[in-house]
Amino acid sequence: MEKLLIIKGGKIFTMEGAPLNGGYLIIKNGKIEDVTERMEIPNGAQVIDATGKHIYPGFIDIHTHTGLWEEGVNIEGSDGNEATDPVTPHVRAIDGINFHDDGFKEAVSSGVTTVNIMPGSANVIGGQGVATKTTGQILLNPSGIKMALGENPKRVYASQKKMPSTRLGNAAILRKALLDTLNYIEKKKKDKKAFDFKLEPLVGLFEGKYPARIHSHREDDILTALRIMKEFGIKFVIEHSTEGHFIAEILAKEEVPCALGPTITTRIKQELKFRTPETARIYEEKGVLFAFTTDFPVLPHYGLFYSAQIAVRHGLSEETALKALTINGAKILGLDHKIGSLKKGKDADIVITDREIFDPRFLVMTTIVDGKIVYDHKTRDDLYI
């Protein structure tokens, strides 16, 4: 039996109701055993004194490419986009991820304990994502099928003089692949031997096993996604959702969750023109379920907190901002039974900071994943942030 790890003192943001001042967080066998206001500390327990500190559930980034585009390596370490074919549902992010990449160390030292890593946005259907702890334990594979609308696929294939070179082409390719899948499902019912390696992963979308995760920035692209997914009855998440504030009511009404970000880059392309720090506030007002993302390596992992801070500066409540860094991401990934809040039975993924995370001066003191201290500011090997 593993001994108890107890974090005592500090302000505990459980994300299950109001924060607890000076309570006790009890961890056993990698799980949260209890969160309590009072307790007798048993002999032999390992105690972390967090008096004066802030304690959060491990942060979640639901849209990254960590380890898939390796830091400091050019083409040899670039595995995000299989930009040779606009439809590649059969490729898997997990096959390209280098878990020893510095990006993961940076994530852990930033307090990000779970990421959803997906192929990039070169292809209309890019491939399978994977949700994983930043210390390498796989949570969900596949976590969804990455899709992309808008400028990226059209730019990539226009330069190869192939379809799609317009938004029309993007939508047509997406629709065709989904229709092919429906036909394939029918064929499989009649012919047990029927097998299509490429379409097989798309069958899971129709079975509701995982969602489509659709890269779209502009309002029209988001609406295209909504239209096509409704046509086919597929669950989906909007990735980036840069112009989502224009249609927040629709997103809320249709219960479409959004991965919001990266919100603090320069406007490097036309479709980012209407990016605004107010999107998150508008999502909160209209009731859109959203989580912040960095799109790492577009932003570094610690960029997650700047995104949240700036949104708060522009009117988002701290409470919703915190949810958008923790439990909302867990919900969107379908992992809220395991991660995203500090509750008995959930994974002991915990971050201790010296100040509240909305203070830009905050430092991560300790990161705990599955009950193990994986980063300690005092004994760190390298300074990654």
Partner 1 sequence: MIVLIGGKIFTGEEFIENGAIFIENGKIVKVLRRKRLPANVEVIDLKGKYILPGFIDPHTHIGMRDEGAPREYSDVNEATDPATPHLYALDAYNPLDPAVDKALRSGITTVFITPGSANPIGGVGSVIKLKNAPISEIVVKKEAGLKMALGENPKLTYREKKSFPSTRMATAAIIREWFTKAKRYGEEKKRKEKDPKLENILKVLRKEIPCRIHCHSVQDIETALRLKEEFGFEMILEHASDAPLIVEKLKGKVKGIVVGPLFGVSSKPESKNLSFENPARLSAHGIPIAITSDHPFNAIYHLNLYAAMSFKEGLDEITALKAITSTPAEFLGVSDRVGYIKKGYDADIVVFSGHPFDIMSRVEMVFIDGVRVV
Question: Which CB atom, from 78 or from 165, has the smaller least distance to partner 1?
Answer: 78
Question: Which CB atom, from 199 or from 333, has the smaller least distance to partner 1?
Answer: 199
Question: Which CB atom, from 40 or from 76, has the smaller least distance to partner 1?
Answer: 76
Q: Which helix (H) or strand (E) holds 200?
A: helix 200-206
Alpha-carbon distance 149 to 123, whole Å?
9
* Min dist. Cβ of residue 87 to partner 1 (A): 11
* Min dist. Cβ of residue 71 to partner 1 (A): 11
Q: What is the CA radius of gyration of the chain?
A: 21
- Of 42-50, 51-59, 85-93, 373-381: span binding partner 1 (CB under 8 A): 85-93
Site string for partner 1, 186-225 (x = CB under 8 A): -------x-x-xx---------------------------
Query: For 216, phi and psi rounded to 5 degrees?
Result: -155, 135
* Min dist. Cβ of residue 195 to partner 1 (A): 6
* Min dist. Cβ of residue 213 to partner 1 (A): 15
Q: Tell me the one-letter amino acid at 160.
A: Q
Query: How many residues comprise the chain?
Result: 385
Alpha-carbon distance 267 to 239, whole Å?
17
Question: Which CB atom, from 129 or from 244, has the smaller least distance to partner 1?
Answer: 129
* Residue numbers 287-346 binding partner 1 by CB under 8 A: none
- Of 20, 27, 60, 97, the residue at the interface with partner 1 (CB under 8 A) is 97
Alpha-carbon distance 112 to 325, whole Å?
9
Residues 6+ apart with CB under 8 A from 341: 14, 15, 16, 57, 326, 327, 330
Q: Which residues partner with 35 through β-bridges?
A: 25
156 scored as a contact of partner 1 (CB under 8 A): no
Question: Which CB atom, from 84 or from 317, has the smaller least distance to partner 1?
Answer: 84
Question: Which CB atom, from 99 or from 355, has the smaller least distance to partner 1?
Answer: 99
Cβ atoms of 191 and 197 within 8 Å: the answer is no
Site string for partner 1, 124-143 (x = CB under 8 A): ---x----------------
Pairing of strands 54-57, 372-376: unpaired
Buried b (16+ CB within 10 A) or exposed e, 31-47: ebbbbeeeeeeeeeeee
Sheet strands (E) in the chain: 5-8, 11-12, 20-21, 24-28, 31-36, 46-49, 54-57, 59-64, 112-117, 125-128, 130-133, 138-140, 145-148, 212-216, 236-240, 258-260, 290-292, 350-353, 364-369, 372-376
- Residue corresponding to tokens 């980063």: 375
* Min dist. Cβ of residue 280 to partner 1 (A): 32
* Min dist. Cβ of residue 261 to partner 1 (A): 23
Question: Which CB atom, from 98 or from 265, has the smaller least distance to partner 1?
Answer: 98
* Min dist. Cβ of residue 80 to partner 1 (A): 7
Question: Which CB atom, from 96 or from 150, has the smaller least distance to partner 1?
Answer: 96
**Of 339, 230, 235, 322, the residue nearest 284 (C-alpha):** 322
- Of 19, 33, 45, 92, the residue at the interface with partner 1 (CB under 8 A) is 92
Alpha-carbon distance 303 to 296, whole Å?
9
* Min dist. Cβ of residue 90 to partner 1 (A): 5
Residues 6+ apart with CB under 8 A from 74: none
- Of 28, 31, 90, 188, the residue at the interface with partner 1 (CB under 8 A) is 90
* Min dist. Cβ of residue 86 to partner 1 (A): 11
Tokens, residue 23: 């309570």
* Min dist. Cβ of residue 37 to partner 1 (A): 41
* Residue numbers 20-79 binding partner 1 by CB under 8 A: 67, 70, 73, 75-79
Q: Which residues here bind partner 1, judged by CB under 8 A?
A: 67, 70, 73, 75-85, 88, 90-100, 119, 127, 160, 193, 195, 197-198
